[in-house]
């Protein structure tokens, strides 16, 4: 968050308070109004419109009305003055709180030797129509613009807000966030580079782990983020079509139902994997791909997809499952000894806390989710059984303390209210160590 994001609305509202309470008679108030107006115009031109600065802009308009004294203004009621003081204070606190808790944030600078480029692609045939975003090592001389975090527009921010259960306009500020990647930059010719596929979770988006994929690209990986249409928060196609999340009911679903969808995710992923040898959709990037060294990483259900395809497709040499279950892998014969890292939040592995929460559910709560306590207990037991099976076949584990499910995505940057602790540096460190060991 830039300091100006806080300072400009603070100055604007305090200027109005100064005009209202002190009623200066000098020309100073007009000069100061011109200065405050100029600051706001410059901010709008340089940063764009932040919805949570609306109250600040309202006070700027009201300040204009106070520039010229009138007899009515000189007769003031103490009650109204006190009431307005409360309203101004309230507006100031609301504006500053929203600016602080919904920041236009900056991603940490990448630590690798390469600059990062990114481009958006669409690949399709008679059965698939898939949007991708690709991050890659770029040439040192980068001309152009840094990529916006939300290249797909307001449809995605609105749908993403719905995923978090908050009003659609709440995350509009994400459209102002810029990333470390240069849009459509030239790829470095120092390859070929290992390839990493990335899969989002249910209700996620292809770039939800920008903190991670940019870091990988800076260290010499080509990362391909996949939109899973109908499961992503929103997929916006080049022709303007929008497909939103059609499977919201899967959040909190039982193992058996989640098993039924893994083949759909696998089919989409394999289509992308098959296209990597086709130069048309990937243009100059394909020439720098090392297709003998491919990994798959994912968050939540995307992590489950990564683990599933690691067992099913010989082209995938290693996988990272970030806080996801293991779906479609119910039997011991489903598992191989290929390199798999199971990252998890400590809270996700706290079965005692989960079972205590289940025991505390009332009959009304159980009826609302359509589950019994026995079904909920069986769900966590099956998830843990599959995890143990995977570990018995050589899967590595990493548990992150004081983390939650969304700690493995960009979401903690959206607002500290979503996750008070950011673990991105730790996640990046272990991701790089694992992939470097198995792919380089």
Question: 64-75, pLDDT tens digit by residue?
Answer: 888 875 544 455
**pLDDT interval class at 279 (50, 70, 90):** low
pLDDT at 72: 47
Token duo for residue 175: 């459209």
Model pTM? 0.89
Each domain of the chain, given as residue ranges in start order, spans 3-101, 115-439
- Reported as a single tens digit per residue, the pLDDT across 374-431 is 999 999 999 999 999 999 999 999 999 999 999 999 999 998 888 887 899 999 999 9
> Model confidence over 373-390: pLDDT tens digits?
999 999 999 999 999 999
Q: What mean pLDDT comes out for the span 161-186?
A: 90
Per-residue model confidence as pLDDT tens digits over 35-88: 999 999 998 888 888 888 888 899 889 888 888 755 444 556 677 778 888 888
CB atoms within 10 A of CB 248: 14
Answer yes or no: is pLDDT of 304 > 50.
yes
- What CATH fold (topology level) applies to the domain 115-439? Rossmann fold (3.40.50)
Which two three-digit tokens encode residue 150?
Answer: 């939300």
């Amino acid at each position: 968050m830039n300091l100006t994001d806080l300072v400009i609305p603070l100055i604007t509202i305090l200027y109005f308070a100064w005009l209202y309470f002190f009623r200066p008679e000098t020309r100073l108030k007009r000069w100061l109004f011109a200065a405050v107006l100029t600051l706001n115009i410059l901010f709008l031109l340089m940063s764009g419109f932040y919805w949570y600065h609306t109250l600040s802009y309202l006070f700027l308009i009201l300040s204009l009305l106070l520039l010229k004294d009138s007899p009515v203004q000189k007769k003031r009621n103490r009650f109204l003055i006190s009431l307005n003081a409360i309203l101004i204070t309230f507006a100031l606190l609301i504006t500053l709180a929203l600016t602080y808790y919904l920041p236009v944030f900056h991603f940490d600078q990448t630590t690798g030797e390469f600059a990062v480029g990114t481009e958006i692609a669409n690949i399709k045939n008679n059965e698939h129509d898939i949007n991708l975003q690709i991050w890659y090592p770029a040439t040192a001389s980068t001309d152009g613009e840094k990529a916006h975090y939300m290249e797909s527009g307001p449809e995605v921010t609105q749908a993403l807000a719905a995923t978090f259960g908050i009003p659609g306009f709440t995350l509009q500020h994400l459209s102002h966030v810029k990333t470390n990647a240069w849009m459509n930059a030239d790829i470095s010719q120092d390859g070929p580079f290992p390839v990493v596929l990335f899969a989002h979770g249910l209700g996620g988006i292809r770039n939800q782990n920008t903190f991670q994929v940019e870091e990988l690209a800076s260290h010499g990986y080509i990362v391909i983020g996949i939109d899973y249409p109908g499961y992503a928060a929103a997929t916006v196609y080049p022709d303007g079509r929008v497909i939103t999340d059609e499977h919201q009911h899967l959040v909190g679903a039982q193992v058996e139902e989640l098993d039924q969808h893994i083949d759909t995710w696998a089919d989409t992923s394999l289509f992308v994997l098959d296209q990597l040898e086709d130069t048309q959709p990937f243009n100059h990037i394909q020439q720098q791909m090392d297709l003998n060294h491919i990994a798959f990483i994912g968050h939540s259900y995307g992590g489950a997809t990564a683990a599933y395809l690691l067992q099913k497709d010989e082209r995938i040499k290693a996988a990272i499952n970030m806080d996801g279950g293991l779906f479609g892998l119910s039997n011991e014969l489903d598992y191989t000894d290929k390199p798999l890292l199971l990252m998890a939040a400590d809270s996700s592995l706290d079965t005692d806390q989960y079972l205590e929460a289940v025991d505390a559910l009332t009959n009304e709560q159980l009826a609302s989710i359509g589950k019994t306590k026995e079904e909920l207990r069986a769900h966590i037991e099956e998830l843990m059984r599959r995890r143990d099976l995977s570990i018995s076949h050589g899967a590595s584990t990493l548990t992150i303390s004081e983390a939650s499910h969304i700690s493995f995505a960009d979401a903690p940057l959206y607002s500290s209210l979503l996750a008070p602790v950011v673990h991105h540096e730790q996640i990046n460190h272990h991701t790089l160590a694992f992939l470097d060991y198995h792919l380089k």
